[in-house]
């Protein structure tokens, strides 16, 4: 299969909004005849936009893990929790399945997403991407796991809303939570702006 | 001859008649090419109405109640976002509001707006624009993630306070199931198949 027939070679375009196959699209700013969504042969400036978003996410990953996501103030002390120390609190309180869940969703998943997007970008920038099938499957995994990192943000927001007992204890949200949410949103947007067809566009050698 | 193009790798496939149910994979990259759910417009409308009722319930009744030192506090679904707003984290509050309240609400309302007239073979005014809003907003519905986050918060709180799950915890769980069923029967592919079959 040296030169498989692709949408590009046949002059066909897929509308990503309604999944219609559109023929004879020449104009740069045309719209889908069925749903009137804007048509692009490939997502515009996909690699540049994705690279910028991934770099921002990687930078913010540091404050997200170093800064406290919440401060617990009680009459006795003032305790600051980062994401990792939150996992340890859960572990010591004896609920290790929950601790494992938070560890995977908040620490493993964001790191894995940033690394995976880096691998995908590196592959797509190269003249002939290797292991295309695995790369495509990697992309689908990134898309699937993306949202689950928001878990800790919801937990913190509920704690901060509920634990406001005057003179006994209160939970204040920390800037770590902001940085962490920014990492999640940036990686989600990065995954969405990456056009996986770029992995398959160049002639295949492997 | 009808041709379908793979959204993930651009490979062109000859389109034989779409399978009666189930899915087709791309021959090269194994991405899903076509999916056909055996659902009717009525099923989708019923799911959307149920989801709307559950969403209203989830915001009207407490999600959890916390009793500590003789005082008690509770929160609803929308309360999580309001709590962040009260502490000055407006952008974070907006993100939580979008992913737990606005995105589900918009998904339900846009679907009802388009599907109710479509069932009688009529076209809702501004249908294409409304469907574009639906496509943009659909990926931001994070109800499943919120439910797990609530579970984590409950476990952490149960160490130092008495926690009572509220009505809304159950309606949120049902809402999550309802929304994922709704999302799977109203894929863009399926929505446009209904539009074409209605012949409006």
Structure tokens at B134: 């639906």
User: Looking at chain B, which residue has its C-alpha nearest residue A134?
Assistant: B29
- From CA B79, how far away is CA A160, in angstroms rounded? 10
User: Looking at chain A, which residue has its C-alpha nearest residue B70?
Assistant: A165
Domain extent listing, chain A = 1-41, 45-199
CA angle A58, A59, A62 (to 5 degrees): 95
Contact A162 B66 (CB under 8 A): yes
3-state secondary structure of A11: coil
Mean model confidence pLDDT for chain A: 88
- From CA B35, how far away is CA B25, in angstroms rounded? 9
Taking the model in full, what pTM does it have?
Answer: 0.91
Please spell the DSSP secondary structure of B143-188, one letter per residue: HHHHHHHHHHHHHHHTTTSEEEE-HHHHHHHHHHHHHHHHHHHT-H
How many Cβ atoms from other residues are within 10 Å of residue B17's Cβ? Answer: 6
How many Cβ atoms from other residues are within 10 Å of residue A83's Cβ? Answer: 24
CA angle B138, B174, A149 (to 5 degrees): 50
The number of C-beta contacts closer than 8 angstroms across A and B is 201
Q: Residues A171-195: pLDDT tens digits? A: 899 999 999 999 999 999 999 999 9
Contact A165 B100 (CB under 8 A): no
Query: Is residue A26 predicted with pLDDT exceeding 70?
Result: no
Across B178-200, average pLDDT: 89
B164: left (phi over 0), alpha (psi -120 to 50) or beta: beta
Across A5-28, average pLDDT: 82
Query: Is residue B106 predicted with pLDDT exceeding 80?
Result: yes
B71: left (phi over 0), alpha (psi -120 to 50) or beta: beta
Q: Residues A152-164: pLDDT tens digits? A: 999 999 999 988 8
In angstroms, the Cα distances linking B16 to A19, B1, B2, B19, B34 are: 16, 9, 8, 8, 11
Which residues lie below 8 Å from residue A44, measured CB to CB, with a gap of 6+? none
Distance from CA of A1 to the nearest CA of B (A): 10
3-state secondary structure of A128: coil
Q: Is B126 on the interface with A (CB under 8 A)?
A: no
Across A24-51, b (16+ Cβ under 10 Å) vs e yields: ebeeeeebbebbbbebbeebeebbebbb
Q: Residues B107-125: pLDDT tens digits? A: 999 999 999 999 999 999 9
User: Looking at chain A, which residue has its C-alpha nearest residue B75?
Assistant: A162
Instruction: Quote the DSSP letter at residue A69.
Output: S
Cβ atoms of A152 and A164 within 8 Å: the answer is no
Q: Is B183 on the interface with A (CB under 8 A)?
A: no
Across B132-149, average pLDDT: 94
Contacts of B159 in chain A (CB under 8 A): 93
pLDDT number for residue A204: 64
pLDDT number for residue A168: 73
- From CA A102, how far away is CA A9, in angstroms rounded? 46
- From CA B130, how far away is CA B136, in angstroms rounded? 10
Cβ atoms of B1 and B17 within 8 Å: the answer is no
Contacts of B10 in chain A (CB under 8 A): 6-8, 14, 197, 200-201
Cβ atoms of A119 and B118 within 8 Å: the answer is no
Query: Is residue B20 predicted with pLDDT exceeding 60?
Result: no
Q: Is B155 on the interface with A (CB under 8 A)?
A: yes
Cβ atoms of A141 and A64 within 8 Å: the answer is no
Q: Residues B56-101: pLDDT tens digits? A: 999 999 999 888 777 788 889 998 899 999 999 999 999 999 999 9
Contacts of A10 in chain B (CB under 8 A): 3, 12
Q: Residues A116-147: pLDDT tens digits? A: 999 999 999 888 777 889 999 999 999 999 88
Contacts of B161 in chain A (CB under 8 A): 163
pLDDT number for residue B47: 97
Instruction: Quote the DSSP letter at residue A27.
Output: S
3-state secondary structure of A18: coil
């Amino acid at each position: 299969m040296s030169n498989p027939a692709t949408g590009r070679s046949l002059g066909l375009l897929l509308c990503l909004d309604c999944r219609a196959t559109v023929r004879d699209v020449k104009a740069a700013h045309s719209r889908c005849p069925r749903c009137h969504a804007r048509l692009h042969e490939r997502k515009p400036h996909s690699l540049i936009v994705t690279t910028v978003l991934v770099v921002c996410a990687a930078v913010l990953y540091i404050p997200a893990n170093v800064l406290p996501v919440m401060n617990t103030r009680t009459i006795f002390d003032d305790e600051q929790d980062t994401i990792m120390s939150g996992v340890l609190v859960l572990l010591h309180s004896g609920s290790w399945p929950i601790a494992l869940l938070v560890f995977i969703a908040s620490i493993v998943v964001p790191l894995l997403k940033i690394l995976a997007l880096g691998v995908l970008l590196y592959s797509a920038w190269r003249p002939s991407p290797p292991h295309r099938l695995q790369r495509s499957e990697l992309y689908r995994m990134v898309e699937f796991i993306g949202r689950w990192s928001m878990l800790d943000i919801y937990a913190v927001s509920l704690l901060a809303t509920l634990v406001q007992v005057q003179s006994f204890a209160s939970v204040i949200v920390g800037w770590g939570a902001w940085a962490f949410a920014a990492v999640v949103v940036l990686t989600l947007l990065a995954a969405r702006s990456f056009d996986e067809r770029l992995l398959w566009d160049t002639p295949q050698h492997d | 001859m009808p041709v379908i193009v793979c959204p993930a790798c651009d490979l062109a496939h000859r389109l034989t008649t779409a399978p009666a149910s189930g899915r087709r994979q791309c021959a090269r990259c194994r991405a899903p090419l076509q999916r056909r759910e055996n659902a009717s417009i009525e099923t989708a409308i019923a799911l959307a109405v149920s989801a709307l009722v559950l969403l209203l319930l989830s915001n009207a009744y407490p999600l959890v109640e916390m009793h500590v030192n003789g005082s008690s506090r509770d929160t609803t679904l929308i309360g999580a976002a309001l709590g962040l707003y009260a502490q000055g984290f407006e952008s974070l509050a907006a993100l939580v509001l979008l992913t737990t309240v606005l995105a589900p609400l918009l998904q339900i309302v846009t679907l009802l707006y388009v599907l109710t007239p479509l069932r009688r073979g009529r076209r809702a005014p501004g249908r294409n624009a409304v469907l574009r809003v639906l496509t943009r907003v659909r990926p931001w519905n994070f109800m499943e993630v919120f439910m797990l986050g609530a579970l984590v918060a409950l476990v952490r709180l149960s160490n130092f306070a008495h926690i009572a799950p509220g009505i809304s915890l159950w309606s949120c769980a049902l809402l999550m199931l309802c929304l994922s069923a709704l999302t799977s029967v109203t894929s863009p592919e399926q929505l446009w198949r209904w539009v074409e079959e209605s012949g409006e």
